[in-house]
Amino acid sequence: MFPNEEEFNAQFAEAIDGVIETMAETPEIEPVRFFNMVCVLENLQFFAPVLYSAIKPKEQ
């Protein structure tokens, strides 16, 4: 079953947080690139409703 919008937003935020956490634990990533990528990922969370509406199945 496809999640509702609130569940999708929560799962999306959790996934982004997981990526950020993994990047933070990786010593090969340069700090400047890390912070730039975190900004991009955090801003991507604002587009979660747009992404949800784009991928949700059409109601019949």
On whether the CB atoms of residues 8 and 47 are closer than 8 A, the answer is: no
pLDDT in tens, 2-60: 888 899 999 999 999 999 999 999 999 999 999 999 999 999 988 888 998 898 888 75
Q: Residue 1 — pLDDT band, cuts 50, 70, 90? A: confident
On whether the CB atoms of residues 21 and 34 are closer than 8 A, the answer is: no
Tokens representing 7 are: 């569940």
Please report the DSSP string for 13-25 in residue order. Answer: HHHHHHHHHHHHT
What totals of helices (H) and strands (E) does the chain contain, helices first? 3, 0
